[in-house]
Amino acid sequence: MADDNDTDNESTGNIHVFDAGGDGRPVVLIHGWPLSHTSWSEQIPALKDAGYRVVSYDRRGFGKSDPGDAYDYDALTGDLDQVLKDLDLTDVTLVGFSMGGGEVARYVATYGEDRLHSVVFAGAVPPYLLKSDDNPDGPLTEDAAQEMRSGLENDRDAFFDDFTTQFFSAGDELKVSEEQRQEALALCKQSDQDAALGCMDAFGGTDFRDDLTKITVPTLVIHGDSDGIVPFEGSGKRTHEAVAGSELVVVEGGPHGFNVSHAAEFNRALVAFLEK
């Protein structure tokens, strides 16, 4: 990843903010679980080259950010709000990948759209992952959620090794190099265990259906059609249907980590949306 200006933001619980600079409209990148801002390394140069100011940060307990006292989406979105305020960012496009899409939805519902130009849900967890009687299309069963949690608790290294393989696989085919998978695995291992477990509970069990109804700014939903972690049918497709006027881009053969495996296609779609 290119060198960034590394800014410690004490008022957000020591959230590390990475401002890559640029004079254009700000694009704020919110990473997925259990990675860090470094997972946007394929996007940051492309967005800067397209003329945008690129800001990213490490979620509390991940990357270089200290753990926090809570990991529910209200707390996590409070961190995002503080980042925007501390940098005095306006006319912002929020780009939330996977878990990060939850912060995007909750931010609009909680803080409104005054600072926003547009939003992007990329392989994102809304509207509601957990399958239940009132959410029969949720792709995550209670049993599967408990199995994930137990796996992380019982053998962290083995869990992350398997997770990163699934993260970048379409079916049984790994769509990135082994070096790229190992880079992601190293990011996973940087995470604080309590943060990883708390955020797992949050992204798996938070209902964003009402939050999505509050979105009125231009919205892009981009998702891989071979996403085995956050399946398109249960997430991106439903988010697109829930946000009036949203645009939808489905990347053929794209696994969950399609911003890396299909970086050129992902970046073209993102920049094209930003230019509208």
In total, how many domains does the chain have? 1
User: In which element (H, E) is residue 14 found?
Assistant: none
Q: Are 32 and 76 in contact (CB under 8 A)?
A: no
**Catalytic annotation, pick one of 16, 31, 37, 256:** 256
**Catalytic annotation, pick one of 98, 118, 169, 246:** 98
Residue 108 φ then ψ, to 5°: -60, -45
- In the chain, which stretches have pLDDT less than 70? 1-13
**Catalytic annotation, pick one of 19, 58, 79, 227:** 227
Q: Are 42 and 268 in contact (CB under 8 A)?
A: no
AA identity, residue 157: D
> Is 256 annotated in the active site?
yes
Per-residue pLDDT, 133: 96
CATH number of domain containing 15 = 3.40.50.1820
Per-residue pLDDT, 13: 52
Per-residue pLDDT, 10: 38
Per-residue pLDDT, 271: 98
Q: Are 17 and 85 in contact (CB under 8 A)?
A: no
Question: For residue 159, what are its two tokens?
Answer: 């869990």
> Is 223 annotated in the active site?
no
Cis check: omega of the bond before 127, within 30 degrees of 0: yes
Per-residue pLDDT, 4: 43
> Where in the sequence is the domain holding 153, given as residue range(s)?
5-274
> Is 227 annotated in the active site?
yes
Per-residue pLDDT, 179: 98
